Structure 1
Amino acid sequence: MFASPYPDVEIPEVPLHEYLFGGLAEEDLDRVAMVDGTSGAETTYRELVARIDALAGWLAAHGVGPGTTLGLMCPNVPAFAVVFHGILRTGAAVTTVNSLYTAEETGRQLADAGATWLFTVSPFLDRAEPAAGEAGIPPERVVVLDGGPSPSGAAHPSLGEALSAGLHAPDVEVDPHAVAVLPYSSGTSGTPKGVMLSHYNLVANVAQGRPLLGVTAQDTLLAVLPFFHIYGLTMLVNAAFLQRARLVTMPKFDLAEFLRITQDHRCTYLFIAPPIAVALAKHPLVEQYDLSSVRVAFSGAAPLDAALGEGVAARLGCAMLQGYGMTELSPASHIMPLSEAGRMPLDSVGVTVPNTQCKLLDPATDEEIPLPPAEKGPEAVSAPGQLLVRGPQVMLGYLNRPDATAATIDPDGFLRTGDIATVRADGVVTIVDRLKELIKYKGYQIAPAELEAVLLTHPQIADAAVIGVRADDGEEVPKAFVVRQPGAQLGDEDVMAFVAEHVAPFKKVRAVEFLDAIPKSSSGKILRRELRAAERG
C-alpha cells in the first residue's frame, strides 16, 4: 500500500454550499465569479450567492428538499452553477445529464435517478420535453433557464421567474454525507449507473486538489470542459469558487472561439482534454492569438501523450500538468503538482492526492504487488497492477445497484479502478493499460454493453459485440461486430445509421465487421479480448 507524499488536509464535514461560500469575505463579494465567454456578461460572488439562495427559496416553496432528485441538462453557462448550487442548498440532489444525450438516453437517466424535476435550456427542449414525459415529469416542473419558447407549446417556468419570486433560502439542515450529485458512469463495464457522490465526497476532492493544482484568486479559468461531467464540476466550478477565482464559461468547443476567449479574457489556467491539447500543439490558428496570459494547462479525462503535452508547454510557454481519476472518485485520485511541472514525467499522472491510499494488485492473482525498494533509487518502478484507491473521495456506491457496488468497492473500502498502473519509489504513478472495457473517445467514456444493447434491437441483427479500435487520428472509436439474421441484407452503413439514431453523437459506431458468430465463454460472456487480438493480428 502507498499513500500521498503530501500531508493530509483538513476536510470539514459540512454541506458543499457552506464549504464554498460560507467563508466569503466582504472584499470577495464584488469579485467577478463567472463570465459568460460568449457575451462577456459578468456575475459577481455577491450576485451568485443571492441567485443561489433565491432559487433555493423558490424550490423549497414548491416542495423540493432532502430526498428529492432534480435533473440538470445544460451547457456551460453561468446559470448552470446557480441551478446546481441552488438545488444543493435545499438539501436535494442533482443528476447531471450529458448535453449530447438523445431524448431516449435522457429519459432513461431521469427515470433511473428518480428525478421529479428537470432544468434545461430552450435549444434542448426538443429532447428534454419527451425525456421528461418518459420519466413522468410534468411540464410545470421542466424549468427553462433562458425562458425560450417550447417547440410543443407547453408552458414551462423560467429561471428568471424563480429568481424574481423573492423567496428566502430555506433553513434546512443538510447532511454532509447525503447524496449531492448523481452523475452517470459505466464504471469498469456495463451500462451507465448512477454514481452517488455526497457533499463530503465533493468537499474532500476540492480540498485534496487544492495544494497540488495551485489555483489562486488571481487566476482566470477557461471552462470548456462540460460541467455535467464530474471533472468539470469539481476541478472547474467548485475549485474555482473555493479560491475566489474567475470562471469564464464556454458552451461548446470551437477552436477559434476557445483561442479568442483565452486571449480576450486573459485566461491563466486552462483545463483541457487531449483532443484540445492536439489543437493547441499543432493547429496553425493558434499563432494568430495572444495566449501569453496562460500559465498552466491541465489535462484529464483521457491519457495525454508526453510528447504532445511537451508540445503544448513549449508552444504556449506554460506549465503542463496531467491528472487521473474517474467519476466514482469525485473524480481525482492523482494529480501532477504544479510545483513539479517540468520535473515529473509528463506521461505519468503525478502523485496520489492527500488523505488517500492506493495499492496495486496482480491482474492474474489479485495478490498485492510490492513497492520498489528505496535503495534502488527514487525512479525505481514497480511491476504493473490494477490500481485500487481508498479515500474520502470514493463514492457512496451505485444507485440501486448493490451488486455493482460490491464488485467495485472491496470490504476494506478500496475502489477497483480497472486501470493498470505502476508506481515509482518516489510515489509517481503511471497508467500503463486497462482491464476495464470502456472505450475512451475524445475524453468521453462509452460502454460497449450499451451499444450492444442498441444493436440487438435491430430486427436484422442476430448478435453483436463492440470493442474500441484505433482510428487513423489515434482516437479510440467503437467498432461493432455483427451477426446478421438469416437472409438479412444489412450493410455497415445501415448499422452505423441505426445506432446513430439512438445514441449521443460521441457514442456512434464508426466501423463495422460482419461475423458468422460472436466469440463467447461457456457462461455466455462476450470474449472481447479475442476480438481485440484478431483486430491487432
Structure 2
Amino acid sequence: MSFASPFPQVQIPPTSLYDYLFADLSDDDADRVALVDTKSGAQTTYRDMIARIDAFAGALASRGVGVGDVVGLLAPNSSAFAVAFHGILRAGATATTINALFTAKDIVKQLTDSRATMLVTVTPLLPQAAEAAAEIGLDDERLIVLDGPGLDADGHPNAADLLDSALPPPNVTFDPATHLAALPYSSGTTGNPKGVMLTHRNLVANVAQIRPLQGMTTDDRILAVLPFFHIYGMTVLLNAALHARATLVIMPSFDLAEFLGNIAEHKCTHAYIAPPVAVALAKHPLVERYDLSSLRGIMSGAAPLDEDLGRAVADRIGCALVQGYGMSELSPVSHVAPFDGGRELLGTTAPLSSCGWTVPNAVSRIVDSETGAEIDPPASGLSDAGELWFKGPNVMAGYLNNAAATDETIDGDGFLHTGDIARVDSTGCVYIVDRLKELIKYKGYQVPPAELEAVLLSHPQIADAAVIGVQDPESGEEVPKAFVVKQSDGAAELTETAVMDFVAGQVAAYKKVRQVAFIDAIPKSASGKILRKDLK
C-alpha cells in the first residue's frame, strides 16, 4: 500500500518562483547579506540581489526574450549565477542549466534539444560556449559573458551591459502550474540525458515541502558548494536558503582546504554535501586543522551514504548529520530527515542509514520489481526491498519532447517510478539500497554496489572506492569488480587479494568482490554520483 508523509501538510501558493521567494521581502531582510562570493569576498544584500535580478530580466526582455523562450546558463556557482538564473525566470523564460564540465559537443546537444535562443556563460568556459553557440547559429550578442570585457570590446554583452541600463522587469503572464521554470537534463532511470520539465509550481512546491524540515533561519550561513546548475544545489541552496533569508556562502568548486577554511572563516552553520565529501571529512587529516565548531548540521544527498561513514563524520565534526533523497524529476527532494532526526516533528529519530520520510503533501510506494506487487511497511524491522515510487506536487511535468520516456517513468496514477531500490520501516522511514539498473546479478542473486562500497570505505587504507558489474572472462557471468583509491600515506602494501579478503570477511559469499583494480581517482559527477559508465 502507499504510505503518506507523516509531516503536516503545507500550503503551496499558485505563484511564480520569483514571487514566492521575494514578493514578501521585508525592509529588515532586504539589508541582510544574501550572497557571499568566497573567491572575491564580495557580499550582496537581498535588496541589491533583487534589483540585479529585475534589471537582468529587463535587459533580456529588451532583447526579445520572454515567455516561451529558453536560455542556456553555463557557469559555476557565483552571485552572478544566482542573478542570471532568477533573471531568466523573472523575464518569463525557461532556464536550461548546463553542467560546467561539459564539452562543446555536450553543450550543443543540450542547446539544440532545448531550443535555446541565448546562452549565458563566464570567461573560463567561453571557448566551449563560443564553439557551441557558433555550431547552433547564435549571434555574438546572444552569447552573454557575465565577466567578459563587454559588448564594445568583443561583441558579447557582459553583466554590466545588461545591468547598467536598469531597465524595469517586464510584466509577464503565465500559469505557474504549467509554465516551465527550469529545464535541467537527466538520464532518468535509463537512457540518454533528457530535458526534465520543471514548472514554477514544481519548484515552489519543493521549497514549501522542505522548508519546515530544514529549519533554516535568517541567522544561518549556508555553505554553497553543490553546483547551482544541478537540481540539488538549485532547490536546496539557491531557492530554499534564499526563501529562508539565510546567507549563502558560495564556492565555485570543491576544494577540501577551501571548504574547511570557508566554514571556519564565515562561521557556516550548515553544509550540504554528497558522499565523496563525507569520505574526506571522515578520513582526511586536513580536517583537524580547522575550527568547524559553528557547524550545526550536515546533509548528504545525491547518493546513499553508509551509516558507519556518516557516524564517523558526525562524531569527528561534532554536529548532526542526516540524509535526504531525490532526483531531478522530483525537483528534487522527495525524502528527508530533519536535522534533529525528526524528534520535534515526529517524536522519533531517523536512523543515520535512512534518507528520512516522505516530504509533506506526498505519498510513496515500494513495489517488487519482479512481480509488481506492493510491499507494505512492516510492523517492525525493515520491509523487503523494491522499487521506490513517489507521487506529489513536485513531480516533473515530463521529459521534453519525449512522451515515451515520460510514460515509462510516470504511471497513469501519477506515481513516478524512481528506478531506485528501497526498504521502509514501520514509521515510513525509507532506506535506499541501490539503483535498480546498477544492481549486479551474480548467480541469480542481487548484489548492491553501494553495500560493497560501504564495506570498502571502512578499510583504513582505502580513501575511496566504487563497484561495478563486469563479465568474468572464464565463466561469462557478471561479477562484482572494485575500483580502489589507496590512502596517500601507508597504503603502498595494500594488494588486490587483501582487498578481496577484507570484503569477504564481512559479506555473504555471493556478494564477495571478485576483481580489484587500483586507480588514482573515482570518476564522479558534479553532484557526487559515481560515473559507473566511465569505469565500465
When normalised by structure 2's length, the TM-score is 0.81
Secondary structure at 2:323 match in 1: strand
Q: Deviations over 1:382-415 (max 9, x none)?
A: 2211110000000000000000000000001000
Q: 1:405 is matched with which residue?
A: 406
Query: After superposition, where does 1:153-168 map in structure 2 within 5 Å?
Result: 154-168=154-168
**Paired AA for residue 74 in structure 1:** A
Q: 1:209 is matched with which residue?
A: 210
- When residues 510 and 432 of structure 1 are mapped into structure 2, their CA distance, relative to the original with a 3 A threshold, is closer
Q: 1:179 is matched with which residue?
A: 180
Q: 1:392 is matched with which residue?
A: 393
Whether the 8 Å CA contact 1:121–1:148 is kept in 2: the answer is no
Q: Deviations over 1:18-74 (max 9, x none)?
A: 000001011101000000011111000000000000011111111111000000000
Query: After superposition, where does 1:448-459 map in structure 2 within 5 Å?
Result: none
Query: After superposition, where does 1:130-141 map in structure 2 within 5 Å?
Result: 130-141=131-142
Offset, 1:436: 2.8
Q: 1:472 is matched with which residue?
A: 484
Q: Deviations over 1:156-176 (max 9, x none)?
A: 010111000121011112321
Segments of structure 2 that go 5 or more residues without pairing to the other structure are 344-348, 440-448, 454-467, 469-477, 487-522, 524-528
Correspondence 1:127 to 2:133? no
Whether the 8 Å CA contact 1:336–1:351 is kept in 2: the answer is yes
Q: Deviations over 1:261-295 (max 9, x none)?
A: 11111111000011111111111111111111000
Q: 1:237 is matched with which residue?
A: 238
Q: Deviations over 1:128-160 (max 9, x none)?
A: 00111222222110000112489xx95201011
- Partner Cα distance (1:422, 1:135) in 2: 46
- Partner Cα distance (1:61, 1:338) in 2: 44
Q: Deviations over 1:186-226 (max 9, x none)?
A: 00110000000000000000110111111111100000000
**Paired AA for residue 51 in structure 1:** R
Secondary structure at 2:340 match in 1: helix
Correspondence 1:319 to 2:332? no
Correspondence 1:359 to 2:371? no
Secondary structure at 1:472 match in 2: strand
Q: Deviations over 1:494-525 (max 9, x none)?
A: xxxxx9xxxxx98596556xxxxxxxxxxxxx
Secondary structure at 1:338 match in 2: coil
Q: 1:347 is matched with which residue?
A: 353
Segments of structure 1 that go 5 or more residues without pairing to the other structure are 442-447, 449-465, 475-498, 500-504, 513-537
Whether the 8 Å CA contact 2:367–2:374 is kept in 1: the answer is yes
Offset, 1:434: 2.4
**Paired AA for residue 106 in structure 1:** I
CA RMSD of superposed structures (Å)? 2.6
Whether the 8 Å CA contact 1:278–1:308 is kept in 2: the answer is yes
Offset, 1:341: 6.4
Deviates more, 1:336-345 or 1:193-202: 336-345
Secondary structure at 1:321 match in 2: strand
Secondary structure at 1:278 match in 2: helix
Q: 1:532 is matched with which residue?
A: none
Secondary structure at 2:423 match in 1: strand
Secondary structure at 1:123 match in 2: helix
- When residues 507 and 418 of structure 1 are mapped into structure 2, their CA distance, relative to the original with a 3 A threshold, is closer
Q: 1:42 is matched with which residue?
A: 43
Deviates more, 1:205-214 or 1:387-396: 205-214
Whether the 8 Å CA contact 1:187–1:193 is kept in 2: the answer is yes
Whether the 8 Å CA contact 1:56–1:89 is kept in 2: the answer is yes
Q: Deviations over 1:390-449 (max 9, x none)?
A: 0000000000000000000000100000011111111111011321359999xxxxxx9x
Whether the 8 Å CA contact 1:188–1:437 is kept in 2: the answer is no
**Paired AA for residue 315 in structure 1:** R
**Paired AA for residue 86 in structure 2:** H
- Partner Cα distance (1:166, 1:242) in 2: 24
Q: 2:118 is matched with which residue?
A: 117
Whether the 8 Å CA contact 1:212–1:339 is kept in 2: the answer is no
**Paired AA for residue 369 in structure 1:** I
- Partner Cα distance (2:530, 2:426) in 1: 39
**Paired AA for residue 229 in structure 1:** H
- Partner Cα distance (2:385, 2:340) in 1: 27
Whether the 8 Å CA contact 2:199–2:396 is kept in 1: the answer is yes
Secondary structure at 1:201 match in 2: helix
Q: 1:263 is matched with which residue?
A: 264
- Partner Cα distance (1:469, 1:184) in 2: 29
Secondary structure at 2:96 match in 1: strand
Q: 2:514 is matched with which residue?
A: none
Whether the 8 Å CA contact 1:115–1:135 is kept in 2: the answer is no
Query: After superposition, where does 1:371-390 map in structure 2 within 5 Å?
Result: 371-372=377-378, 376=379, 379-390=380-391
- Partner Cα distance (1:338, 1:9) in 2: 19
- Partner Cα distance (2:326, 2:162) in 1: 36
Whether the 8 Å CA contact 2:150–2:158 is kept in 1: the answer is no
- Partner Cα distance (1:356, 1:185) in 2: 22
Aligned length: 457
**Paired AA for residue 126 in structure 2:** L
Q: 2:458 is matched with which residue?
A: none
- Partner Cα distance (1:172, 1:299) in 2: 37
When normalised by structure 1's length, the TM-score is 0.81
- When residues 61 and 510 of structure 1 are mapped into structure 2, their CA distance, relative to the original with a 3 A threshold, is closer
- Partner Cα distance (2:63, 2:228) in 1: 26
- Partner Cα distance (2:228, 2:481) in 1: 28
Whether the 8 Å CA contact 2:304–2:433 is kept in 1: the answer is no
Q: Deviations over 1:218-275 (max 9, x none)?
A: 1000000000000000000101110000001101111111111111111110000111
Q: 1:533 is matched with which residue?
A: none
- Partner Cα distance (2:252, 2:108) in 1: 22
- When residues 39 and 358 of structure 1 are mapped into structure 2, their CA distance, relative to the original with a 3 A threshold, is same
- Partner Cα distance (1:389, 1:240) in 2: 25
- When residues 279 and 238 of structure 1 are mapped into structure 2, their CA distance, relative to the original with a 3 A threshold, is same
Q: Deviations over 1:422-479 (max 9, x none)?
A: 11111111011321359999xxxxxx9xxxxxxxxxxxxxxxxx999531149xxxxx
- Deviating 4+ runs (over 2 angstroms): 436-441, 466-470, 505-512
**Paired AA for residue 471 in structure 1:** F
Offset, 1:380: 2.9
- Partner Cα distance (1:329, 1:470) in 2: 31
Whether the 8 Å CA contact 2:222–2:270 is kept in 1: the answer is yes
Secondary structure at 1:247 match in 2: strand
